[in-house]
Every structure is written in structure tokens, then in C-alpha cells.
Amino acid sequence: MMKINEEVSLETLVGKVAALQVAGYRFVTMTTVDCDDYFDIYYHYDKDYELYTLRLKVEKPGVVPSISTACFAALIIENEIQDLFGITFTGLVVDYEKHFLLAPDAPEKPFCHVPGVKITTVDSPAAKKEEVAE
């Protein structure tokens, strides 16, 4: 089971991350989970093989301050989350404007559970079957 070490809010996030950097924690990654009504964003840090996880709750559609100024490694993952979940990160060092992984004509926010955003697998029989089942 995963342990969540700390809950953070939009205001305390950047300060907390900067403090962790100073304390010698290594940035591992970020994980976004769509919980239907809101997003959970986990910030995973590591020190001496121990995972230290922060959790941030974000209302949809989601605007979050970027931590890429404090921690450059977060830049790539934040751009990826922008693509896949449509969350906007403010103050990114390099902003690919939601076309980092996805081409301009690709489906938007493919990882969101928002009704109306369908996964476009046009000719796939499996996808059609699922639609019928629903």
C-alpha cells in the first residue's frame, strides 16, 4: 500500500517542493489520477530509497502553479499532464502548449473521465462492443 506523507494545497505547494529540494530529496515523478469530480496529483520524492509522497487535490478543469522553476525535472512530466488531462500549469519554464505528446489533430484530454470525451478508436470492433455494453 502506498503511504501519503503530506497533503498540500495550491498555496503551499511551491514552498513545500522548494523545501524538499533543499532537504536533499530527489524528484521522482508526478502522478495524476482522475477521481471523477476532482484530480489527485501526487508528487513523488525519494530519499534513501524511501518514497515521500505529497498529495494535491485540484478542482476540475484544474489550474496548478508549476514547480518547474524550483525543480527543472518536473518540466517534462508537467507538460505531459497538460496534454493528457488538460490541467493547466502556470509559469512553466518551457510550455509546449498542450502539444507535447499529442499531435494537433489527436483526441484532447484522452485520460479524463469527462463524459463526452470519447476515445476515438474508429474502426476497432472492441471499442464498439464496449459502447454497446455501456
Partner 1 sequence: MSKFTGKSPWVVHFNCNSCNGCDIEFLACLTPLYDAERFGVLHVGNPKHADILVVTGSVNKKNMHVLKNVYDQIPSPKAVVAMGVCAATGGLFADCYNVVGGIDKVIPVDVHVPGCPPKPEAMLDGIVKAVEILKKKTKETETVTEELPVVIVKPKELPAEPAAPEAAKESEK
Partner 2 sequence: MSMIVPFGPQHPVLPEPLQLRLEIVDETVVSALPVIGYVHRGLERLAEQKDFQQDTYLIEHICGICSFMHSTTYCTGIEEIMNIEIPERAKYLRVAWSEMHRIHSHLLALGLLADAFGFESLFYQIWRTREHIMDAMEFTTGGRVMLSAACVGGVRKDINEEQKKFVLEKLAAIEAEFKEEAHVLLDDYTVKSRTVGVGILDAKTAYERGAVGPTARASGIKMDHRMTGYFAYDKLDFEPVVEDGCDAYSRTKVRIREVYQSIDLIRQALAALPDTPLKTPFKGNPNGEAAVRAEQPRGEVIYYLKGNGTDKLARCRVRTPTFANVAPMLHMLNGCNLANVGVIVLSVDPCISCTER
> Which residues in this chain contact partner 1 in the complex, by CB under 8 A?
102-103, 105-107, 110, 119-121, 123-124, 126-127
The answer to whether residue 28 forms part of the interface with partner 2 (CB under 8 A) is: yes
The answer to whether residue 102 forms part of the interface with partner 2 (CB under 8 A) is: yes
The answer to whether residue 111 forms part of the interface with partner 2 (CB under 8 A) is: yes
Give the residue with the Cβ less far from partner 2, 10 or 73: 73
The answer to whether residue 27 forms part of the interface with partner 2 (CB under 8 A) is: yes
Give the residue with the Cβ less far from partner 2, 11 or 127: 127
| Grid cell at residue 5 | 506523507
Give the residue with the Cβ less far from partner 2, 59 or 131: 131
